[in-house]
Amino acid sequence: MTIKSFNELKKNLKKDFAQLKKIKLAVLADSASQLYVQSLKGYGYELSYNFDIYEADYDQIDRQLFDKTSALYKSEPEYIVIHSSTQKLLSRFYKLSSPQKKSFCKEYIAYVNELIAAANANTKTKIILFNFPEINDSVFGNFSNKTDSSFLYQLRKINVELMELAQENSVVFINDIASLQNTFGNSFITDQKIYINTDTVFGLDFLPYVAKNTTDIIASIAGKFKKCLILDLDNTTWGGIIGDDGIENIQIGSLGIGKAFTQLQLWAKQLKERGIILAVCSKNEEDIAKEPFEKHPDMVLRLTDIAVFVANWENKVNNIRHIQSVLNIGFDSMVFLDDNPFERNMVRSEIPELEVPELPEDPAEYLSYLRTLNLFETASFTEGDNQRTQQYQEEAKRISFQKSYTNEADFLKSLDMISEVSPFNKFNTPRVAQLSQRSNQFNLRTVRYTEDSVQQLISSNDHFTFSFTLKDTFGDYGLICVVILQQLTTNNRQLFIDTWLMSCRVLKRGMENFVLNQLVKCAKENGFEKLIGEYIPTSKNGMVKDHYKDLGFTETNGQWELNVPGYKEKTVYIYPKLIAAQSI
Amino acid sequence: METQQILEQLSLIFIDILDNESIQLTESTSAAVIEEWDSLTNVQIIVAVEKHFKIRFTTAEIQKLNNVGDLCSLIKTKQVA
């Protein structure tokens, strides 16, 4: 895995950060954190982030978090990164009597809960907690596994409890250093000499990986993550060349090198079930390429797993562009796997935003290599995610069905669309938060909401919240649109559209018109006179530049206004199913 | 390896890590005269020197170093050994 060295990251610090997206962080540690902070800032530059970091003095975790007037809270961070070291944990543990040791984990987790509660009381910020790489102090040997007063026993328990804690607190994320230790080994992650001389617990060669892991979490929360895996076929998905070798001779299954490809397919299948879209891009005849997916008994992946299947003799750059246009997601959210270095380089040079891992030469090493890259970091997971592939396949069917209609209205009518309109509630909260983090293109102001902030809106007295689902004869899109209206403090007859975002999968259905009808209806019923909209441009939301103009809003001072009493309801072919009325 | 040769190679390491092209090491150069050379960059320098000369220092040896001359002689003895 190639990653910039500590020294290279450090040199980034002298570069120009002015144009990069600024994110405010605070780093608290009970060991020396300067080198970590340098790596983090330098790594941020690699991903075009300007991490503005408040670094607390040495060993100030408690003081900074418990004191509500602390410099930490004054720095107003968007993320608090807390690095407690195993070394300090060990010295804490050694001070205890034998009975106290048995309840060390319990006491420690209670303390972490207090830290989190203190942070939550003072700020809405997200918290990234390091878990603990293991130190086997070899006091009990293997017997520590049978001894609850041993350090290893308590440490492993703490790591498990931290996961529980993170699952219960939506603002808490775990920086999984224990897993990095598993990948790289203890002698790589710590340099005893540096630790003894400077109290820095991670070695210089390891620090860039810690910085990457931290940044992966932040980037995914900020909406930058992978949504799609594109697979080449010959010698990537199976061994051999289907066109030359034929279906009976390709390598897949439990024998020999076939096992390596089976492993890769099993992994891809798990990703698909987590909600990653799978696509195929291969230089082949289409029916020959599809044959193993339909007939080979050892194939793990089947045609139903693949959202977009492209096999032809065109160049891969064009084919990947085609896949991108069908899926309607950014190139920077796609990963392309291909065994051929020539294809990889060509695709990389034409589509630089695309992630193209440098696969090892030996297929036996594909999977272990890919696992080290942490390509598919995510900040949320909801049960509906595993239906995404099916939704894209339904979309492909809709596209070919639409071609049989010449009149758009007839086509829309024939879809029998139904939209469920509901305020935010505890059932839709995870999906609302997820959509708020994922949507980049159809998003007017790109304000990101976490599950926590969504929950606060539910009980807010000056907000109206809307979620919209959509289904038609071909299938169910699920929850695809979110709107938040805020009563203006400056003028209580006006509603400001704080958020309007929509999944790009439901464009050209008249959904915008349907949503606006609902918004106006709500405004009217509650005696409001104006809806105020705003468009905040980002590098990705150009498609909604004229959104309010197209809907009939008029521009005043950079904002868009719609007169509620004079609104003429727009014609739509979507039938509403209203869940519950809400009132301010 | 001659002291002069070691000094030249060390200079390159220092220039890279301290990101300062103007560094020219002599045996009497110490942390006091190079602004960027502090306890943290020293850690980086030691790790880089170990990698470059394929040797390992002990913590006690590092703590005894006062200037570049000391570092040169330490490298020499390690290479002979």
Q: What is the DSSP string of A363-404?
A: GGGHHHHHHHT-TT--S---GGGGGHHHHHHHHHHHHHHHTT
B15 in contact with chain A, both atoms CB, cutoff 8 A: no
Question: How far is residue A178's CA from residue A199's CA, in Å, rounded to a whole number?
Answer: 19
A78 to chain B, any CB pair closer than 8 A? The answer is no
Domain boundaries, chain B: 3-80
Please state, in angstroms and rounded to a whole number, the distance separating the CA atoms of residues A498 and A442: 14
With beta carbons under 8 A apart, name residues in chain A contacting B62.
193, 197
Alpha-carbon distance A30 to nearest alpha carbon in chain B (angstroms) = 17
Asked if B39's CB is within 8 angstroms of A7's CB, the reply is no
Superfamily of domain A228-372: HAD superfamily/HAD-like (3.40.50.1000)
Tokens representing A559? Answer: 């904002």
* Helix A207-221 with A34-46: angle, nearest 10 deg: 50
Q: Name every chain B residue with its beta carbon within 8 A of the beta carbon of A200.
A: 43
Amino acid letter, A203:
G
Q: Considering only CA atoms, which of A256, A476, A308 is closest in space to residue A384?
A: A476
Q: Please give the residue of chain A at the shortest CA–CA distance from B16.
A: A7
Residues on chain A touching B43 (C-beta within 8 angstroms):
35, 194, 197-198, 200, 204
Quote the minimal CA–CA distance from B60 to chain A in Å. 10
Closest CA to A487 of A409, A582, A389: A582
Q: Which chain B residue is nearest to residue A192, measuring alpha carbons?
A: B59
CB atoms within 10 A of CB A103: 14
Q: Which amino acid is at A18?
A: A
Residue in A328, A333, A291 with CA at minimum distance from that of residue A311: A291
Distance from chain centroid for Cα A435: 10
- The domain spans of chain A are 6-221, 228-372, 406-578
A60: helix, coil or strand?
Answer: coil
Contact A503, A480 (CB under 8 A): yes
CATH of domain B3-80: 1.10.1200.10
Mutate to test the interface with B, among A4, A5, A7, A198 (most CBs of B within 10 A): A7
**pTM, entire model:** 0.76
Q: Are A133 and A127 in contact, with CB atoms under 8 Å apart?
A: no
- Write out chain A residues lying below 8 Å of B16, CB-based: 7
Radius of gyration of chain B (CA): 12
Q: Which residues contact A557 (CB under 8 A, 6 or more apart)?
A: none
- Distance, in Å, from the CA atom of A71 to the CA atom of A63, rounded to the nearest integer, reads 10
Angle at which helix A429-438 crosses helix A451-458, to 10 degrees, equals 120
- Candidates A234, A238, A217; CA nearest to A174 is A217
Is B62 in contact with A193 (Cβ distance < 8 A)? Answer: yes
In angstroms, what separates the C-alpha of A14 from chain B's closest C-alpha?
10
Rounded-to-integer distance, Cα A344 and Cα A361, Å: 13
Q: Which residues on chain B are in Cβ contact (under 8 Å) with A14?
A: 19
The span from the CA of A433 to the CA of A425, in Å, is 11
| Residue B43 to residue A196, Cβ atoms within 8 A | no
Strand partners, A80: A26, A127
Strands annotated E in A251-305: 277-283
| CA separation, residue A139 to residues A4, A86, A94 (Å) | 38, 16, 11
* 3-class DSSP state of A37: helix
Tell me which residue in B17, B46, B63 faces A7 most closely, judged by beta carbons: B17
Chunked mean pLDDT (size 10), chain B, 81 residues: 91 92 91 87 92 92 91 90 64
CB contact under 8 A, A198 and B47: no
**Where would I find the H helices in A351-504?**
366-372, 388-402, 408-414, 429-438, 451-458
Contact across the interface for A7 and B59, Cβ inside 8 Å: no
Query: Considering only alpha carbons, which residue of chain B is nearest residue A38?
Result: B40
**What residues pair up with A466 in beta bridges, in sequence order?**
A483
Listed by number, the residues of chain A in 200-259 with a beta carbon closer than 8 Å to a beta carbon of chain B are: 200, 203-204
Common-topology check for domains A228-372 and A406-578: no
Q: Which of A285, A300, A303, A307 is nearest to A234 (CA)?
A: A285
Enumerate the β-bridge partners of residue B49: none
Who's near A533: CB < 8 A, 6+ residues apart?
A444, A497, A500, A547, A548, A553, A559, A560, A561, A562
CB–CB of A197 and B19 under 8 A? Answer: no
Asked if A194 lies within 8 A of B62 by C-beta distance, the reply is no
The answer to whether B17 faces chain A, any CB pair under 8 Å, is: yes
Question: What residues in B contact A191, CB-CB < 8 Å?
Answer: 47
Question: Which CATH code fits A406-578?
Answer: 3.40.630.30
- Spatial separation of the C-alpha atoms in residues A72 and A53, rounded to whole Å: 10
Closest chain A residue to B15, measured at CA: A7
| Apex A368 CA angle, A258 and A380, nearest 5 | 115
| Beta pairing partners, A577 | A420
Give per-10-residue mean pLDDT for chain A (584 aa): 86 93 96 96 95 95 93 95 97 95 97 95 93 96 97 98 95 97 94 89 96 96 92 96 91 91 97 94 93 95 94 91 88 96 91 96 95 92 75 71 71 88 92 90 92 91 94 86 92 92 84 95 93 92 92 92 93 87 44
Please answer yes or no on whether B47 and A204 come within 8 Å at the CB atom: yes
Mutation target for B interface from A197, A200, A202: give the one with most B CBs within 10 A: A197
* Eight-state DSSP code of residue A254: S
Q: CA-CA distance, A43 to A49, in Å (whole number)?
A: 8
Into which CATH architecture does domain A6-221 fall? 3-Layer(aba) Sandwich (3.40)
Size of interface A-B (CB pairs under 8 A): 32
d(CA A92, CA A308): 55
Contact A199, A32 (CB under 8 A): yes
pLDDT on residue A396: 65
In this structure, is the dihedral angle defined by the CA atoms of residues A324, A328, A331 and A336, taken in order, positive or negative? negative
Give the 3-state DSSP-derived string for A232-243, with helices as H, strands as E and coil as C: CCECCCEECCHH
Taking CB atoms and an 8 Å limit, are B40 and A198 in contact across chains?
Answer: yes
Q: At what angle do helices B39-53 and B3-18 cross, to 10 degrees?
A: 130
Q: Which of A11, A193, A198 sits opposite B19 (nearest CB)?
A: A11
A193:B46 CB<8 A: yes
User: In this complex, do B43 and A204 lie within 8 Å of one another by their Cβ atoms?
Assistant: yes
Chain A: give the shortest CA distance to residue B1, in Å: 26
ipTM of the complex: 0.86
Largest Cα separation within chain B, whole Å, is: 33
